[in-house]
């Protein structure tokens, strides 16, 4: 058995946390963020929203139920993961379980991370680290491994372009209604939830124009980074919100999709001090005052006071009062910061998918079965091939 290597987590403010290396024995740099989730680490690590981030688990023991296999379902989507790879840059835990026990486990967390070149560090005081991040805000940091060169600063990249598929894909061909899913880093479970409700789902790159694409409703996905960097998506959504025949079709957004919709409507967004990441965030419906427990993963939010006329706050966070959902009072446009599809986490708000689907079906009935984006002609329709099977993992229901 090889000797364990010492490792350090070094924050940009100079703080250092000593521990042991696990996973890939290589250093990495990224934004250090924390999540309060107790389970669902295979789904969290494969969530594209964690692109470029070093994830800190506040729950002390991680990896005890191992990592499941790469099976896919009839649609070619992974049964267990949220994408085809780990997107987090690194993982920080108090204790990584080396000998997992679960009927679906085929490998340990450390072995899985090593196979994908993702480093981890264990044995540090994650409570002290989390307190520091809560008091000072998330910051950049690096994992440094004994005997290995220090990691070079990561080159800046367009986060959404890095995680979005660059070719369109079709799922559930022949289903109804037709949903155009704009992939800013979409989790697999968003597609699963739409397919389970009978939809035909066209997954499009984040910067795709909708001209020539048949759809009854548009779905804006989650994703990483600053929403203001998604200028092409914002411009597309702005046209959707402008009215006319396209404006009669519903648009619904999740997470980054909510921020993009707000910017397209003319509102502003800002970066939260340490974000909302976990499976226990309380969100209050402004219409009913009912509170829902939600799964979340975002570092930006919408400024409530910046919402223009015709828009209102739909949900607020029960902890800090930040905006968790917005909707138009003039059209079928709405979005939430949290993840109704959960995975990992509660799915108490999955009814929002039902609401969107009902609006999309009403759109199909009102406008016909061949709604084409922005008045395009059928001859310009985008040809989409069925997506190939992907390898990856789903979530928190174990």
The residues that are catalytic are 255, 339, 341
Encode 128-140: b = buried (16+ Cβ within 10 Å), e = exposed: ebbebbeeeebeb
Contact call for residues 74 and 31 (beta carbons, < 8 A):
no
Strand, helix or coil for residue 270: strand
Strand, helix or coil for residue 228: helix
> Cβ–Cβ contacts within 10 Å for residue 320, how many?
12
- Separation CA 351–CA 189 (nearest Å): 14
- Separation CA 91–CA 293 (nearest Å): 25
- Alpha-helix residue ranges (DSSP H) falling in the chain: 41-45, 109-115, 126-136, 159-163, 188-196, 231-241, 244-247, 256-265, 351-367
- Separation CA 283–CA 294 (nearest Å): 7
């Amino acid at each position: 058995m090889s000797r364990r290597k010492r490792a350090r987590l070094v924050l940009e403010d100079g703080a250092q946390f000593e521990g042991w290396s696990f996973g890939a024995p290589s250093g990495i740099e990224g934004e250090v963020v924390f999540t309060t989730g107790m389970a669902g680490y295979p789904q969290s690590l494969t969530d594209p929203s964690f692109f470029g981030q070093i994830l800190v688990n506040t729950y002390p023991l991680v990896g005890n139920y191992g990592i499941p296999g790469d099976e896919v379902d009839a649609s070619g989507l992974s049964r267990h993961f949220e994408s085809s790879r780990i997107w987090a840059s690194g993982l920080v835990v108090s204790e990584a379980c080396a000998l997992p026990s679960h009927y679906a486990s085929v490998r340990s967390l450390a072995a899985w991370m090593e196979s994908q070149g993702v480093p981890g560090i264990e044995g540090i005081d994650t409570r002290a680290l989390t307190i520091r991040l809560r008091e000072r805000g998330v910051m950049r940091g690096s994992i440094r491994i004994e005997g290995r060169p220090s990691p070079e600063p990561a080159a800046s990249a367009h986060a959404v372009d890095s995680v979005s598929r660059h070719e369109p894909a079709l799922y559930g061909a022949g289903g109804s209604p037709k949903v155009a899913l704009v992939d800013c880093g979409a989790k697999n479970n968003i597609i699963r939830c739409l397919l389970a409700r009978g939809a035909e789902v066209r997954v499009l790159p984040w910067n795709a124009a909708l001209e020539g694409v048949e759809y009854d409703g548009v779905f804006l996905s989650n994703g990483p980074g600053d929403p203001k960097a998604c200028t092409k998506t914002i411009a597309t959504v702005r046209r959707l919100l402008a009215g006319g025949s396209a404006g009669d079709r519903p648009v619904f957004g999740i997470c980054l999709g909510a921020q993009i919709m707000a910017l397209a409507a003319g509102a502003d967004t800002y970066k939260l001090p340490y974000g909302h990441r976990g499976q226990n965030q309380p969100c209050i419906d402004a219409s009913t005052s009912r509170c829902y427990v939600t799964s979340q993963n975002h570092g930006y939010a919408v400024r409530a006071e910046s919402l223009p006329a015709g828009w209102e706050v739909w949900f607020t966070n029960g902890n800090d009062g930040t905006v968790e959902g917005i909707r138009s009072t003039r059209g079928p446009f709405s979005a939430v910061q949290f993840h109704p599809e959960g995975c990992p986490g509660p799915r108490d708000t999955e009814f929002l998918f039902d609401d969107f689907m009902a609006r999309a079906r009403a759109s199909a009935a009102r406008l016909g079965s061949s709604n084409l984006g922005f008045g395009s002609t059928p001859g310009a329709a985008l040809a989409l091939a069925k997506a190939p099977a992907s390898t990856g993992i789903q979530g928190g229901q174990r």
